[in-house]
Structure 1
């Protein structure tokens, strides 16, 4: 696997640390901006909104200008670093909210361009594995980035965590200059060519399943900290280690899924959703039990976010894996992330209890499995999955 693929993984690590670290510093941000836990949870949703709306538009602009993917990624990382610096310097909730939207816009385009570069430099039969390495940055963000950011928050304040991400963004941009191969502007696909891919209904079916999988996972993850402290009874100081365990499970799951995502795409997602739904239900029913909660946390970590390589492999089999197709995929995933977090917060606000996001997650996992049923039923004469699956 080219070294550049691993560098793209480090880039995703930097972006994802910023996106998810709010979940581990909810108490500090609640106190800093004098707002509710639900409003802090909305900062995750706002980041996702930026990814959903701004990412595809920004990517279309880059395609229209026929900017090579490597140069586009460098520009996007520069914009991301500036927006993240504004977040680190925020003195009010409104400024922080605007900065989160801006980083989401840049982050979505970075995801799409990074995966497009990945598809360019990896062999077609290894794209799922290459994608698992790039998305491995997302897993490492949960096992290293988010816990480290939480520890920094608890010892040096939340601003220090945000400035750390600024430094990582600059480091990644510098490394990309030297390690990612240049591409010619003539190789850049036009917006019209990429837009034609969206007439494929199977692509939208793949997008829908991806959104539901991530929605189910993050409806729960976004509220792990208050659930584990207020219901399960873990001390606040133990949250970084619990998030680290969850992140380690993400890494292990991603390694396994990435190895088999190209050949067993649909079975991975189907069984993954079944196990994810069961683990979420156990967590919701027995959240007051520390042993069962920890076990459920680990299982959710193993099968939730680690389905990403299979999701990406499915999209890359269904349509040309250009920057816009991948960016829209990222946007759809973040629609699920944002809606899951938002609906879970509504349950808490409505007085349904701090564990209500877990039941929202169960419902989304069931919907995700239902979205796969038409494709699981479609087989060729020799019993193998159809090519568009």
Structure 2
């Protein structure tokens, strides 16, 4: 893999640490902002809303201006660092909510541009594997970023965790500025070329499955911390290590899925959703048992977020994965993320208990499985073309 692929993975790591770390510091944020835990959970959904709405709009603007991907990514990382600084300085829930939406807007466009650059660096036969490396940054955010942010929160306060992400983001921007060759304006893809890809109905079917899969994951993950402390009986000091174990499972699963995503896209997603539904149901039944809870936490880590290389590979097989296609895919994924977190919070607010998010995850896993089965063995309506007359190899940008 080209070095740039790993730099892009580091960028995704920085962005995703900010997106997910709220789940590991819910009690601190609730106390610091003076709101209930369920409302803190909505900060994850607000980030997702920013990605869903603002990400595509920002990408369309960059495409209309024909801004090359490197320059566009640097601008977006600067915006992300600024919005994250506002979050770190927030003294009210309203300011924090605004900052979360703003970081979501920049984050979605960063995802789209990073994956578009990744797709052009490698041949179509290994795009899923390369995407797995980039999305591996997301998995490492679970292993290193979220536990690290939680530890910083417990020892230095939640604001220090947010400032840490600012430093990481600026560091990635510096690496991109120094190590990525300057791209030319003539290399930028036009908006009309990108919009033409959305005429393929199988692209929308792939988007729908992606949203349901991620929704199933986050309906449960968003509330793992209160479930593990209040139902399973783990002390708060153990949460970073438990989330770290979940993150390790993410990385292992992502490595396996990334290796085989190009060849066995549908079998991987179908098997993952079957295992996800079963493990979440068992988690709900046996949440009072610490050993079983830890075991099922690891299982959901293995088969949940690790589906990302497979769902990305499916999209890349269907259409050319340009910036807008990838950004909209990111937005759709975050619709599922936001709806899953929101539905889990509704269950708790309605008095159904802290285990209700797990049952929401079971229901979404079943829906995701149902969305996949009609397309098993069906060929894409159109093969994914090469990037608009470009070679798709390193150096084209």
Tell me the residue number matched to 1:222.
222
Query: Tell me, what secondary structure is at the counterpart of 2:174?
Result: helix
The alpha-carbon deviation at position 123 of structure 1 amounts to 1.6
Unaligned runs of 5+ in 2: 385-397
Tell me the residue number matched to 2:255.
255
1:88 aligns with 2:126: no
Which has the larger displacement, 12-21 or 186-195?
Answer: 186-195
State the distance in 2 between where 1:124 and 1:186 align: 22
Tell me the residue number matched to 1:184.
184
The alpha-carbon deviation at position 124 of structure 1 amounts to 1.3
State the distance in 1 between where 2:65 and 2:222 align: 37
Whether contact under 8 Å (1:246, 1:298) holds in the other structure is yes
State the distance in 2 between where 1:92 and 1:46 align: 15
Query: Tell me, what secondary structure is at the counterpart of 2:111?
Result: helix
Structure 1 residues 388 and 269 mapped into 2: Cα distance closer, same or farther (>3 Å)?
farther
Tell me the residue number matched to 1:9.
9
The alignment's C-alpha RMSD in Å is 1.3
Per-residue CA deviations over 1:263-297 (Å, capped at 9, x if unaligned) read 11111001011011111111011111111111110
Tell me the residue number matched to 2:279.
279
State the distance in 2 between where 1:170 and 1:326 align: 23
Structure 1 residues 115 and 201 mapped into 2: Cα distance closer, same or farther (>3 Å)?
same
TM-score, normalised via structure 2 length: 0.95
Structure 1 residues 122 and 182 mapped into 2: Cα distance closer, same or farther (>3 Å)?
farther
Tell me the residue number matched to 1:61.
61
State the distance in 1 between where 2:19 and 2:378 align: 39
State the distance in 2 between where 1:379 and 1:29 align: 47
Tell me the residue number matched to 1:152.
152
State the distance in 1 between where 2:87 and 2:216 align: 27
Q: How many pairs were matched up?
A: 384
State the distance in 1 between where 2:279 and 2:37 align: 25
Within 5 A, what are the aligned runs for 1:1-389?
A: 1-376=1-376, 378=377
Whether contact under 8 Å (1:14, 1:141) holds in the other structure is yes
The alpha-carbon deviation at position 183 of structure 1 amounts to 2.5
State the distance in 2 between where 1:70 and 1:256 align: 30
The alpha-carbon deviation at position 388 of structure 1 amounts to 6.8
Structure 1 residues 140 and 161 mapped into 2: Cα distance closer, same or farther (>3 Å)?
same
Query: Tell me, what secondary structure is at the counterpart of 1:91?
Result: coil
The alpha-carbon deviation at position 120 of structure 1 amounts to 1.1
Whether contact under 8 Å (2:275, 2:303) holds in the other structure is yes
Whether contact under 8 Å (2:11, 2:137) holds in the other structure is yes
Query: Tell me, what secondary structure is at the counterpart of 1:66?
Result: coil
Structure 1 residues 4 and 285 mapped into 2: Cα distance closer, same or farther (>3 Å)?
same
State the distance in 2 between where 1:386 and 1:50 align: 31
Whether contact under 8 Å (1:42, 1:342) holds in the other structure is yes
Query: Tell me, what secondary structure is at the counterpart of 1:263?
Result: coil
Whether contact under 8 Å (1:3, 1:179) holds in the other structure is no
Per-residue CA deviations over 1:324-370 (Å, capped at 9, x if unaligned) read 00000000000000000000000000000011000000000000000
The alpha-carbon deviation at position 178 of structure 1 amounts to 1.9
The alpha-carbon deviation at position 185 of structure 1 amounts to 1.6
State the distance in 2 between where 1:3 and 1:340 align: 35
Whether contact under 8 Å (1:7, 1:179) holds in the other structure is no
State the distance in 1 between where 2:3 and 2:259 align: 18
State the distance in 2 between where 1:39 and 1:154 align: 20
Which has the larger displacement, 181-190 or 223-232?
Answer: 181-190
Structure 1 residues 162 and 300 mapped into 2: Cα distance closer, same or farther (>3 Å)?
same
The alpha-carbon deviation at position 379 of structure 1 amounts to 5.1
The alpha-carbon deviation at position 386 of structure 1 amounts to 8.7
TM-score, normalised via structure 1 length: 0.97
Per-residue CA deviations over 1:177-224 (Å, capped at 9, x if unaligned) read 122233322221111111111111100000000001100000000000
